[in-house]
Chain A
Amino acid sequence: MGKYIGIRLAHALVVLAIVVVLVFVIARLIPGDAIMAAMAGSVDLHDPSVVAKVRHQYGLDQPIFVQFAVWLGRFVRGDWGTSIGTGERVLDMFARRLPVTLELFLGATVWSIAVGIPAGIIGALKRNSTLDMAVTAGAMVGVSVPAFWEAIVLIYLFAVLLPVFPPSGYVPLSDGWLANLRAMVLPTFVLGTHSGGLLARYVRSSLLEVLGQDFIRTARAKGFSETAVIVKHALKPSMIPVVTVIGLSWGGLLAGAFFVEVIFAIPGLGRMSVEAIFQKDYPVMQATLIVVSLNVLLVNVLVDILYGYLDPRVRVRG
């Protein structure tokens, strides 16, 4: 198992190195001038000498390979630079925003698992029934509905018409868990909707496949109760594709967080990324993309490890 994990981590490191170079080059291939873009939002900042001064300050007047070497050297030493858009230290921005986004991710994952897995199980066990059709339709809606539309509708329903939750904003846990929970219910639900729907579909089809296997028939023939057959024998093998979906969804959650954090005014990494991309804020853009890539890579390594746990044949081949 140790060797298997080592190989997976080595693969991840190679991918990360490629990502680092690509991120730096692609960021600079996007048309436009970062300084002019950021200045366009400022008032009465029209002096070309000011532009040149700011460009020099951020090292953007250097050749691209020099910029890369300087940036990488500083990045690995923990100096992630200063945001062109806000003037803050990028590392400080991450330190403040990462926990917020992680909370959002965790909440969304909890929603998607809590809704998606039971819905999928019900759909599989009550195959072709009215309940199954309702669950399937619900899952399809969850997968198809655009996050920004769902968010706006829920805000008007549950914050304006029926003021149960706040329309937007983030309340840190340190300000009280109840206030934090109330603020996070709508955004986490919206973010978890897509992966919840997807999960329900995968659990249903995977469980149906497993329930048709010989060993399930054997278990039933041995006289195990239906609950024992499902919980002890069917669920674990049917979880392999489910783990894949959860792993992939984790990567996809950040794409969702781009919308959800902007709409719900949550000061997390997603909103920061959107603002950085629109402003061509290189330091923030680069750091964000690398952290996101690292996150996806680590989750995939974790998924690979879980495969090994769920199906020993995988780690033997690995």
Chain B
Amino acid sequence: MPDQPWAVWDKNAKPKRGGIFRVAAEQYIGKMNPNHWPVLDWISMGYMHERLMLTDGNYNPTVPWLAETLSWDGPQQVVMKLREGVTFHDGSAFDAKSVKFQIDWIRDPASKTWDAGWLAQLDTVEVVDEHTLRWKFKTPWAGFSGVIANVPGYVMSAKALQEDADKYDTQPQGTGPFILEEASPGNYLKFKRNPNWWFAKASNNPDMPYFDGIQVTIIPDPAVRLANLRAGKIDVLLLDKSQYAVAKADPDLKVYRFAMNHLAALRFNNTKGVFQDIRLRQAVSHAIDRKGLIAGTQFGLARLASCIYPEDHWCHNPNLKPVTYDPDLSKKLLAEAGYGSGLTVRGYYINTAMGQTIAEAVKGMLTKVGIDWQVDLMAPAALATRMQKMDYDLAQGGWIFIYDPDLMATGLYHPEGGFNFGRSKNDAAIALIEAGRKEVDPEKRRAIYWQLEEVLYNAYEDAWLWWEEIATAYRSNVEGWDHEGFLKYRDVWFWAHPLWFRDGKA
């Protein structure tokens, strides 16, 4: 453990034990078995559960966590060595048998798990010895480590699942730093410190986690969440973008800004309607002033996007530059395509306040070059139906949480994708997506995704707008946040470096 690059602790820091860390969440967690749908708060899920693998600073699932080592034995087999000395909150042992039971349970249709399909390429998982597993795949499966760094890799007590799997939805038994103490659905969650957290011993920081507990309170309104932070009723807040400047000016708050792996984009209907013509897709893409959109609608909190994977994602092709803002070129392209006198297209955008602002700004930019975008602002349910029926020319697109590259690539651009519905059929891209799934060599796989980005970029498959940024505010007595460390190692740093109160209490 100490030999890991992210395992660096500030020697001058004086962490103190104690206090209840108070957090606000927009929604109640839902079910607490990660494999039972719906789960609406993955941060709280992480207080209780840990994963087999974690992602690094470039969202690459290469960091061993509860899996100590992972070695490929050919493209269709992986030998996994599990960490020793780990126990679940119910006292049972974490070992090869418990992981096998969990994986088989996820794949059993009777368990009604929503992520069983993610393990479709898994053939068998075998117990080699007490702490070793052999995973065998039906076909070469490059995305394996990405999947076990995701939902199916949240480790759960086999004992608890065997006794009463339904009970697990409300009484989870993970291995994480905090144990669920009390849940009041729709209202709050209370966690207490796990005194037997394996990582405290493994990292030679026996007081970890430093808080006695965590209280997550559900506060739906962003203005009221900020009021709670400023009134000292909560200790940390994921800020609404409009609150960034206000929070930054508050001397009692420490505000950090960081990139997120989310993509905001406009999606074209490439197989039905006018946008089958690449010149019209180019016309739209060049008509959008992305810098203006970021400044005017995102309060400056976003980065110009050039393609699908964010610039800090291991699959992003750095040779691609954001599409230029060139309204004259747009007009020229429209004229060439036979729409010099104007083009009318239909579409939709989400009906939140932010959605409305973005849609109106984009509509204004398109109007300037002669495109009348008749955009309907809709609730998520209605929007999903329009997407499914391909009832649009140009609409809201993008993706949230871009981890394993195949998930988004397939979702948006492959015929099997859950968010494609036949609107994108780029044969070169499809071939690359399929190649990327099978290539287990990381460097060769990276090259495939660089190529995929280039193909999509040259085809103007979508109009990519920005990669998300967010900001978090802590009360000044919360210590331990090393922003540089977080930006460098992200996921693993976040879970490995618990915070504490300066005076040991809230």
Contact = CB atoms under 8 A, between A and B. Distances in A.
Contacts of B230: 160
Nearest to B36: A87
A44 B38 contact: no
B340 to A, nearest CB: 35
Nearest to B109: A53
B51 to A, nearest CB: 13
Given A37-B381, A53-B114, A87-B37, A267 B186 contact: yes
A155 interface: yes
A166 interface: yes
A38 B38 contact: yes
A272 B38 CA distance: 16
B227 A167 contact: yes
A155 B407 contact: no
A151 to B, nearest CB: 8
A131 to B, nearest CB: 35
Contacts of A88: 185
A167 B151 contact: no
B219 A41 contact: no
A237 interface: no
Interface stretch (B26-34, B190-198, B291-299): B26-34
A42 B39 contact: yes
Contacts of B151: 43-44
Contacts of B115: 50
Contacts of A226: none
Interface stretch (A26-34, A113-121, A197-205, A296-304): A26-34
Interface stretch (B126-134, B320-328, B383-391): B383-391
Contacts of B231: 159-160, 163, 166-167
Most buried by B among A36, A47, A170: A47
Interface in A160-199: 160, 163, 166-170
B30 A87 contact: yes
Interface stretch (B72-80, B94-102, B411-419, B426-434): B411-419
A169 B380 CA distance: 27
A33 B388 contact: yes
B117 A43 contact: no
A86 interface: yes
Interface stretch (A71-79, A211-219, A244-252, A258-266): A258-266
Contact of B380 (A57, A84, A93, A278): A278
Contacts of A42: 37-40
A154 to B, nearest CB: 10
A33 B381 contact: yes
Interface in B393-417: 400-401, 403, 407, 411, 417
A283 to B, nearest CB: 13
Interface string A12-39: 0000000000000000001111101111
Nearest to A31: B382
A1 interface: no
Contact of B117 (A47, A156, A267): A47
A54 B388 CA distance: 17
A40 B384 contact: yes
A57 B407 CA distance: 25
Nearest to A170: B187
A37 B386 CA distance: 12
Contact of A278 (B37, B379, B418): B379
B117 A44 contact: no
Contact of B227 (A40, A50, A156): A156
Pairs of residues from A and B, 4 with the lowest C-beta to C-beta distance, nearest first: A32-B381, A36-B384, A46-B418, A37-B381
Interface of A: 30-34, 36-51, 53-54, 57, 84-88, 92-93, 96-97, 152, 155-156, 159-160, 163, 166-170, 262-265, 267, 271-272, 275, 278-280
19 contacts: A32-B380, A36-B388, A43-B151, A46-B407, A47-B118, A50-B117, A88-B185, A97-B186, A152-B224, A152-B227, A155-B224, A163-B232, A168-B228, A169-B217, A264-B224, A265-B224, A267-B184, A278-B380, A280-B379
